[in-house]
């Protein structure tokens, strides 16, 4: 059994308690973890009981420590962003982060930025105060970049986990639909919006099942809500 974990925003107590009780094979965080300590340290009580995977969200760059505690910890190789991994018998793809106007916002003018390196070069051409530059560099780590998106579109998977929502959500994007369809996934699971809307009437049009996992909620791979 795989569990998908809605935005925890720094609170992991319910995850630890329920994993100890039910022992799922794997858990996947859907972004906005906001780790105050390294993730492997926070989840030490359950690391021998379940596989831990994650994608990042937009709030995981609110502080430099949040990003470092995800991507500089002992679980850094468990990031699913931009790749496909077999987990508990399912091929799961990950797309962390959000669409950002300074990088890529569907429907807005093309910035010409394809990856994080391009963004840094773009910043260098616009002299700014050091503290403003640092903030922009930090925040841009959690943006969705075209290079990551289109590289992932060349892969095949069973499930796509993402922070942004597909178009069936009022604030979702058809670009998530198109990515899922290109990859041939049967299910998309997202966080970010702190809600769990009923998308079932849209599934046939989307060509995949779509699920949103609410704020600090837990959903199993069969769609059942654990918490």
Domain contains 131: yes
Q: Report angle CA 85, 88, 91 to the nearest 5 degrees.
A: 35
Number of domains in the chain: 1
Q: Dump pLDDT digits (tens) for 35-75.
A: 999 999 999 999 999 999 999 999 999 999 999 999 999 99
Domain contains 48: yes
Domain contains 7: yes
- For 2, list phi and psi in degrees, rounded to 5: -115, 135
Domain contains 227: no
Domain contains 212: yes
Q: Is the pLDDT of residue 90 over 80?
A: yes
Mean pLDDT, residues 180-190 taken together: 98
Length of the chain: 227
Higher pLDDT, 123 or 214: 214
Where residue 113 sits, what CATH number does that domain have?
3.60.21
Average pLDDT, the chain: 96
Residue 211, domain extent? 2-220
DSSP 71-98: HTSTTGGGB-BTSEEEETTEEEEEE-SB
- For 214, list phi and psi in degrees, rounded to 5: -75, 175
């Amino acid at each position: 059994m795989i569990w998908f974990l809605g935005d925890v925003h720094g609170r992991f107590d319910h995850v630890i308690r329920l994993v100890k009780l039910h022992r799922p094979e794997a858990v996947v965080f859907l972004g906005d973890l906001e780790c105050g300590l390294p993730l492997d340290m926070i989840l030490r009580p359950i690391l021998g009981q379940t596989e831990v995977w994650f994608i990042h969200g937009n709030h995981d760059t609110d502080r430099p420590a949040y990003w470092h505690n995800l991507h500089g910890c002992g679980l850094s190789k468990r990031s699913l962003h931009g790749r496909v991994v077999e987990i508990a018998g399912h091929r799961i793809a990950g797309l962390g982060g959000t669409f950002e106007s300074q990088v890529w916002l569907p429907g807005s003018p093309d910035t010409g930025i394809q990856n994080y390196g391009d963004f840094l070069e773009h910043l260098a051409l616009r002299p700014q105060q050091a503290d403003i530059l640092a903030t922009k560099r930090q925040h841009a780590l959690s943006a969705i970049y075209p290079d990551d998106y289109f590289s992932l579109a060349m892969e095949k998977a069973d499930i796509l986990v993402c922070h942004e929502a597909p178009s069936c959500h009022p604030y979702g994007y058809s670009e998530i639909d198109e990515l899922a369809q290109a990859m041939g996934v049967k299910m998309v699971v997202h966080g970010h919006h702190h809600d769990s809307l009923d998308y079932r009437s849209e599934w046939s049009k989307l060509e995949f099942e779509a699920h949103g996992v609410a704020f600090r909620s837990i959903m199993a791979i069969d769609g059942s809500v654990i918490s």
